[in-house]
Each structure stands twice: as C-alpha cells, then as structure tokens.
Amino acid sequence: MKFKVIVHEAAEGGYWAEVPAIPGCATQGDTFEELLKNLYEAIEGCLSVDVEKPKRTTKDRVLEIAV
C-alpha cells in the first residue's frame, strides 16, 4: 500500500508527520530518518486496530454519503 504523508518541521526542532488517509495517524522524530522509522510503525499500528462491526437492528438504515 502507498500513503501520502505530510511532513512538517516542528517549531522546537525535528519533524512531525500526518497521514491524511488515516485520521488520527501522526508521529514525530528528532531527525528525518527517525521520523521515517516512526511513520512505518505509526501506519502499521493504525491499520492493525481491530474495529468492532457496528450492531444494527432491522429498523436501521445504512447510508453512504459524500461531503
């Protein structure tokens, strides 16, 4: 899988990055190399989270919307 990552220079030094395709997936590093290592771990961790399937009743509706 390929993900676009936005890398920012941190005001206090070092870097931080976010993965827009995975809400809440972000990490930091003192060096660019450390940031890359942490990005792989952060993405793997975010994708390995088990998400419980929502419980539905017969009265519930499932919608797909675009915003």
Residue ranges and CATH numbers for the domains of the chain are 1-67 (3.30.160.250)
How far, in Å, CA of 49 to CA of 21, rounded? 15
How far, in Å, CA of 21 to CA of 5, rounded? 9
The structure tokens listed for 65 are 């919307």
Tell me the pLDDT tens digit for each residue of 3-25: 999 999 999 999 999 999 999 99
How far, in Å, CA of 59 to CA of 55, rounded? 12
Tell me the pLDDT tens digit for each residue of 22-65: 999 999 999 999 999 999 999 999 998 776 777 888 888 877 87
The pLDDT of residue 38 is 97
Q: With a threshold of 0.75, does the pTM exceed it?
A: no
H or E stretch including 17? strand 15-18
